[in-house]
Amino acid sequence: MSTEHEQQVTDTLERLHSADSVDQVEAIRVEALGKQGWISQLMKTLGKMSPEERQQEAPRIQGLRTRVADAVEDRKAVLEAAALEERLASETLDLTLPAPATPKGSVHPVSQVMDELAEIFADLGFSVATGPEVEDDWHNFTALNMAETHPARAMHDTFYFPDTDADGRRMLLRTHTSPVQIRSMVANGAPIRIIAPGRVYRSDSDATHTPMFHQIEGLVIDRDIHLGHLKWTLETFLKAFFERDDIVLRLRPSYFPFTEPSVEVDVGWKDVNGRRVLGGDGDAPGHGWMELLGSGMVNRRVIEFAGLDPQEWQGFAFGVGVDRLAMLKYAMDDLRAFFDGDNRWLTHYGFSPFDQPTLSAGVGAKA
Amino acid sequence: MKFSLEWLKYFLETDASVQEIAAALNRIGHEVEGIEDPAEKLAGFRVAEVLTAGPHPDADKLQVLSVSTGDAEPLQVVCGAPNARAGMKGVLGLPGAVVPANGMELRKSAIRGVESNGMMCSVRELELGEEHDGIIELPDDAPVGKAFAEYSDVSPVFDVAITPNRPDCMGVLGIARDLAAAGLGTLKPVTSDPVEGEGEAPDIRIEDEQGCPAFYARTITGVTNGPSPAWMQRRLKAAGQRPISALVDCTNYLMLAFGRPAHVYDLAKLSGPVIARRAKDGETVEALNEKTYTLDSSMTVIADDTQVHDIGGIMGGEHSGATDATTDVLLEIAYFDPEAIGVTGRKLGIASDARTRFERGVDPAFLDKGLDILTSLILKTCGGTPGAVARAGKPPVEPTRIAFDPKLTATLAGVDVAEGEQKRILEALDFEVAGDWQVTCPPRRHDIEGPADLVEEVVRLYGLDKVESVALPRAEGVAKPTASPLQLTERKVRRAAAARGLNEAVTWSFLPTQKAQHFADGADLWVLDNPISEDLKAMRPSLLPGLLMAARRNADRGADTSRLFEIGRRYFRGADGASDEKPTLGVVLAGEKTLRGWSEGKAKGFDAYDAKAEALALLEAAGAPVDNLMVMAGEKGGAGAQFHPGQSATLRLGPKNVLARFGALHPATLKAFDLDGPVVAVEIYLDAVPARKNAGFARGPYAPPALQAITRDFAFLVPADLAAGDLVKAVRGADKQSIVDARVFDVFAGAGVPEGKKSLALEVTLQPGEKSFAEAEIKALSDKIVAAATKQGAELRG
């Protein structure tokens, strides 16, 4: 009996080994292990045996069953693996083909730099103030100590509207962000520490001037603020903005009707492969000075116009071109391109939305 | 203002170098915009003598010269000038020298086969004048071999920007005075003896005391006009002033040296008394610039019986101007009211050196001295006999007195300057400082109004560079947040838009009127009075025109797609004529949304749903409650005539508050902006988005439901014009507790759907609470859903 069974198992295993489809394996399994399979039949004979006989036969028959069952599983696994391999081979993709395109957006350099400036000045305790761009001549000129006949008015290349407001003030496009000084002092009094970024306008257009550009105004009014604080503020801000410790300022006396004393600020630069890179002493070899911003102690008349007592309050103001700062920091050389909306320029010079300036990461976004 | 070093040294005794002077000028507030040293350009040009001159063998018009520059061997030079001849002295450019006029470097060369070792130069070639008929002829005593730069005594020229508050420095003397006060040398005294006149003083009168408080004059008879002397011409030319004639040059010299404009009339052209009066309305005068100006009664003029001869303080008249034939002159030196000069100058649009000075304020104490200096100059250069001086009116010489506390220098400028030094500086600038620090200002310093101005004087001469940086007081702890709510919103929206693949543009605030008009919707546009061009004229009522124009430019450059956005203001007239500026976001999607591709197939354009997606995403970033917004489409939607009437809508919070408009643009808009369609756009009115009230850091409580949600599909037949949104809203409202979502997954009309109807299929999500839904509960919810839909005219499809 047992030799016969052994032979049968050997046959089955051989057939399994040569089976080349899962279906064949299944047929063989049913033949042996199915309900009517010969091993299953053998299992049933156990019930009729005497205990002694069963004790001897049961392990043997179980052994047969296990050997066949294992062989079935093994063969199935081999065949399935082969089938899978074949299927996968047929599913090969050419992964050098492009993936679906997703458009990449960008943040304009002017916005980016304004965010950087807001971050730096927030750390110095300056909040952000705004004002209208269509201004009246009182806020833009008179209150800034430029009476109607003041020659400095004519130097501002002002865009005018035919309108006057209810107070008979001539409407115009603000020529600087300085009117925000007046509006902030009138609205909030002193002490005050603000920056006012925004669009300004001059009827001037050439390679380096556009009729619209961006400025940022700074104003500090308190009880004992002096020129030394102004100098420190500008140095601190420029060092933080350009992320360089070697920024050197040169203060020159100048004239703005709304400040007294007035100070023009030059920054030292170095010629690096034909490009002016800020940093270093402008008088050193290979260096020079560039005029970067205007500033001064707020004229007491301006403080009076803003409704504050100049005996009690004094402070400084400064103004600087945002586009200019952007160009210097990020090495752009064409101001006109800022306002053109050219996709290619925006993509190249624009910033990732995730370059939100933070102090901990450094406010600047590296190329 | 330009002036030569040589002229400066006429007023200032100094050994300082050009660089030291330039540095000092910058330091004290006179910005040096340029330094030009003509000697550099004249390097390699020498005084030379022509020894022999003979014909060129191969050219009729050329000569072969033998020229000596004092060296042992004379040089052979080929020359084409007709005046070249043996024995003359001229200027030879040696090989290596660069001709100033054309930048050409001279070389030893052969001209028509004859060797030439340099070039004899003309006046024009050396940029010394216009003459080019022949080579320069120098006097016989010119020392042969001397560098021509040295011989001709050229001097470096400073170009300095004088700020408008310093008219006293619009003359070389004023600059010299400032430099002396800065310790750069000693100011030389200006000597001018009063010139005693003979005979009668001219009849001059003032009728306009306001515009012309003082008018002094004298005659000089028997003058000979002609070219002014070389020393004067040299200084004038260095200052950029073209020599005209001796009489005119003398007045220009006075102006540039002392900052004092004056005028010379041809006495023969005047008749009767000379009067400073207001012009009559409509009166005309031909000015020295050969233009005729029509005057009005606000303007001060100098006139005689017959006509206006001078637009007071601005420009003289052509009729009585000095000419070569002039023999008798009337000199005028007057004080004009600065404000009136400014008004007249602006009205007439005349910018002149005289106006620049009078408008800023000349020295009111310099009339007599100025007249004496001018008289002396004319007598020296033109001869003649001076008459007695007539003086009408009085200049405002009352000086400003300021009670100054020298401690203010430290308070305002943060720098300690010893009181003695402060006094020294002020006195060097001609301020009188009394023992009690009462400071009397020189009348020429119109800019000094109060103590702060004196601080500026002290600090600029003491040295701004000595101001030490002092840290601003810092609030304790970590810096506080400072961004305003609008700034926060703009930042979020900007970065959200960029993250969605849009490029941020910054476009002009002003537009061509027509383009602005297309988006004006009847609003009265702000249009500039004096635009720089027609393209930059009307303030934008919408952000879309600027973006559409940018999209057009991009298309012209071959771009397939423009995805642009901008955050900026729209400009409207507000109450009381003030400005009403509305913060706004604009988006334009133009061109191809997806390019043709190996997997995508054909290129695909943008549609109104793309605009809707941007609108909702960006509104959400702006903090708008996007789930509660109404979509109002069609005519009533009010997206505006610029949009496709059937493919645009507004998004509203409540029926009135429009937060945004979006959709496909109207073909007429595309035509107006010369764009190929379809182009879709969004405009979000950031100021209409309500502020979040009392938002803190704590979120509302939430725990994900323990039980899984189930979904059920419903297909409804609805009237074709029923908005899907209305059906969804009704279905969602059928049971606010259990129905958490309803999503349209199919819209179908056509075969199998009756005419005038469409099929909308919705997947509804039901969320069980504490325990799972029983069959009966689901059935009840389904019934509610169908009932709610039925109210909208829907019927459940079988």
* Each residue's pLDDT tens digit, B316-339: 999 999 999 999 999 999 999 999
Which chain B residues are Cβ-neighbours of A137 within 8 angstroms?
none
In the predicted structure, residue A48 carries a pLDDT above the cut 90: no
Task: Yes or no: say if A319 and A178 are a contact pair by the CB < 8 Å rule.
Answer: yes
pLDDT averaged over every residue in chain A: 92
Q: Of the candidates A162, A228, A350, which has its C-beta nearest B469's C-beta? A: A228
Which chain A residues are Cβ-neighbours of B500 within 8 angstroms?
105
Number of Cβ atoms within 10 Å of the Cβ of B150: 13
Fold of B2-37+156-187: Phenylalanyl-tRNA Synthetase; Chain B, domain 1 (3.30.56)
Q: Give mean pLDDT, residues A148-174.
A: 87
CA distance A243 to chain B (A): 18
pLDDT in tens, A261-293: 999 999 999 999 888 999 999 999 999 999 999
In the predicted structure, residue A329 carries a pLDDT above the cut 70: yes
Q: Which helix (H) or strand (E) holds B636?
A: helix B634-637
B351 → chain A, closest CA residue:
A154
Tokens of B393: 């009116």
Contact between chains at A127 and B342 (C-beta distance less than 8 A): no
Q: Of the candidates B31, B497, B599, which has its C-beta nearest A105's C-beta? A: B497
Cα–Cα distance measured from residue A317 to residue A181, given in angstroms and rounded to the nearest whole number: 8
CA distance A109 to chain B (A): 9
In terms of Cα–Cα distance, which of B494, B516, B515 is closest to B686? B494
Give the amino acid at A106: S
The yes/no answer on whether domain B485-688 falls in CATH 3.40.50.300 is: no
Containing structural domain, residue A126: 109-349
Number of domains present in the structure of chain A: 2
CA distance B581 to chain A (A): 7
pLDDT in tens, B606-629: 999 999 999 999 999 999 999 889
Task: Yes or no: say if B442 and B399 are a contact pair by the CB < 8 Å rule.
Answer: yes
pLDDT in tens, B251-288: 999 999 999 999 999 999 999 899 999 999 999 999 99
CA distance A85 to chain B (A): 26
Tokens of B485: 């709510």
Distances (CA, A) of B2 to A288, B32, B172, B240, B563: 22, 10, 9, 7, 52
- Map tokens 């939305």 to a residue: A353
B546 → chain A, closest CA residue:
A341
Contact between chains at B468 and A228 (C-beta distance less than 8 A): yes
| Residue A34 DSSP class | S
Q: Are A256 and A167 contained in the same domain? A: yes
pLDDT in tens, B141-190: 888 888 888 887 788 999 999 998 999 999 999 999 999 999 999 999 88
pLDDT band at B59 (very low <50, low <70, confident <90, very high): confident
Instruction: Establish whether domains B402-464 and B485-688 are of one fold.
Output: no
CA distance A36 to chain B (A): 44
Which chain B residues are Cβ-neighbours of A125 within 8 angstroms?
472, 474-475, 479-480, 482
Q: Give mean pLDDT, residues A343-365.
A: 95
Which chain A residues are Cβ-neighbours of B603 within 8 angstroms?
none
Q: Of the candidates A107, A124, A346, which has its C-beta nearest B494's C-beta? A: A107
Task: Yes or no: say if B1 and B239 are a contact pair by the CB < 8 Å rule.
Answer: yes
Longest distance between any two alpha carbons in chain B, whole Å: 130
Q: Give mean pLDDT, residues A39-59.
A: 87
pLDDT in tens, B655-674: 899 999 999 999 999 999 99
Q: Are A319 and A265 contained in the same domain? A: yes
Which chain B residues are Cβ-neighbours of A115 within 8 angstroms?
491
Q: Are A86 and A137 contained in the same domain? A: no
Q: Are A341 and A213 contained in the same domain? A: yes
CA distance between the termini of chain A: 85
pLDDT in tens, A163-209: 898 889 999 999 999 999 999 999 999 999 999 999 999 998 887 89
pLDDT averaged over every residue in chain B: 92
Fold of B710-796: Alpha-Beta Plaits (3.30.70)
Contact between chains at A227 and B415 (C-beta distance less than 8 A): yes
In the predicted structure, residue A46 carries a pLDDT above the cut 70: yes
Number of Cβ atoms within 10 Å of the Cβ of A356: 19
B349 → chain A, closest CA residue:
A154
Q: Is the peptide bond before B139 cis (omega within 30 degrees of 0)?
A: no
Strand order of the β-sheet with B2-4 is B2-4, B157-161, B31-36
Task: Yes or no: say if A270 and A276 are a contact pair by the CB < 8 Å rule.
Answer: yes
Contact between chains at A228 and B470 (C-beta distance less than 8 A): yes
Q: How many CB pairs under 8 A join A and B?
A: 282
The pLDDT score that the predictor gives to residue A93 is 93
The pLDDT score that the predictor gives to residue A233 is 97
Which chain B residues are Cβ-neighbours of A162 within 8 angstroms?
527, 529
Q: Of the candidates B410, B481, B498, which has its C-beta nearest A105's C-beta? A: B498
Coil, strand or helix: which one is B264?
A: strand
CA distance B414 to chain A (A): 5
The pLDDT score that the predictor gives to residue B581 is 96
Angle between helices A38-45 and A22-33 (to 10 degrees): 20
- What is the dotted CATH code of the domain comprising B40-151? 2.40.50.140
Q: Are A300 and A156 contained in the same domain? A: yes
The pLDDT score that the predictor gives to residue A354 is 96
Contact between chains at A356 and B482 (C-beta distance less than 8 A): no
Cα–Cα distance measured from residue B585 to residue B661, given in angstroms and rounded to the nearest whole number: 11
Q: Of the candidates B505, B532, B597, which has its C-beta nearest A203's C-beta? A: B532
Fold of B402-464: Phenylalanyl-tRNA Synthetase; Chain B, domain 1 (3.30.56)
B593 → chain A, closest CA residue:
A103
Q: Are A56 and A125 contained in the same domain? A: no
pLDDT in tens, B196-205: 888 889 999 9
Distances (CA, A) of B679 to A193, B378, B565, B590, B730: 45, 75, 14, 5, 33
Q: Give mean pLDDT, residues B547-556.
A: 97
The pLDDT score that the predictor gives to residue A154 is 73
A172 → chain B, closest CA residue:
B528
In the predicted structure, residue B212 carries a pLDDT above the cut 70: yes
Number of Cβ atoms within 10 Å of the Cβ of A310: 17
CATH class, B204-393 region: alpha beta
The pLDDT score that the predictor gives to residue A255 is 92
Distances (CA, A) of B428 to B345, B442, B675: 34, 11, 69
Q: Of the candidates A106, A252, A354, which has its C-beta nearest B504's C-beta? A: A106
Q: Are A114 and A251 contained in the same domain? A: yes
Q: Are A19 and A115 contained in the same domain? A: no
Contact between chains at B501 and A123 (C-beta distance less than 8 A): no
In terms of Cα–Cα distance, which of B530, B211, B171 is closest to B349? B530
Q: Of the candidates B343, B479, B501, which has its C-beta nearest A149's C-beta? A: B343
Of A133-137, A166-170, B691-695, minimum mean pLDDT range: B691-695
Domain boundaries in chain B? 2-37+156-187, 40-151, 204-393, 402-464, 485-688, 710-796
Any domain includes A359: no
Tokens of B280: 């009559």
State the best of A116, A138, A149 to mutate against chain B, taking most chain B CBs within 10 Å: A149
In the predicted structure, residue A66 carries a pLDDT above the cut 80: yes
CA distance A260 to chain B (A): 6
Q: Of the candidates A150, A297, A340, which has its C-beta nearest B412's C-beta? A: A297
| Residue A178 DSSP class | T
Q: Are A309 and A229 contained in the same domain? A: yes
Of A32-41, B17-26, B607-616, minimum mean pLDDT range: A32-41
Which chain A residues are Cβ-neighbours of B450 within 8 angstroms?
300
Cα–Cα distance measured from residue B392 to residue A7, given in angstroms and rounded to the nearest whole number: 148
Burial class from Cβ neighbours inside 10 Å (0-12, 13-18, 19+) for residue A262 reads buried
A152 → chain B, closest CA residue:
B164
In the predicted structure, residue B138 carries a pLDDT above the cut 80: yes
Percent of chain B with pLDDT over 70: 100
Burial class from Cβ neighbours inside 10 Å (0-12, 13-18, 19+) for residue B236 reads buried
Q: Are A129 and A61 contained in the same domain? A: no
Any domain includes A254: yes
B577 → chain A, closest CA residue:
A165
CA distance B153 to chain A (A): 30
Distances (CA, A) of A332 to A149, A208, A364, B495: 39, 12, 15, 22
pLDDT in tens, B115-130: 898 899 988 888 777 7
Cα–Cα distance measured from residue B96 to residue B104, given in angstroms and rounded to the nearest whole number: 10
CA distance B571 to chain A (A): 8
pTM: 0.86
Q: Are A82 and A212 contained in the same domain? A: no
Q: Of the candidates A127, A160, A171, which has its C-beta nearest B530's C-beta? A: A160
Q: Are A118 and A80 contained in the same domain? A: no
Burial class from Cβ neighbours inside 10 Å (0-12, 13-18, 19+) for residue B590 reads buried
Coil, strand or helix: which one is B393?
A: strand
Q: Give mean pLDDT, residues B535-561.
A: 96
Cα-Cα-Cα-Cα dihedral of A294, A298, A299, A300, to 10°? 180
Task: Yes or no: say if B386 and B375 are a contact pair by the CB < 8 Å rule.
Answer: yes
CA distance A282 to chain B (A): 12
Contact between chains at A260 and B559 (C-beta distance less than 8 A): no
B538 → chain A, closest CA residue:
A161
Cα–Cα distance measured from residue B112 to residue B73, given in angstroms and rounded to the nearest whole number: 23
Which chain B residues are Cβ-neighbours of A252 within 8 angstroms?
26-27, 29, 31, 464
pLDDT band at A1 (very low <50, low <70, confident <90, very high): low
CA distance B536 to chain A (A): 9
Any domain includes A97: no
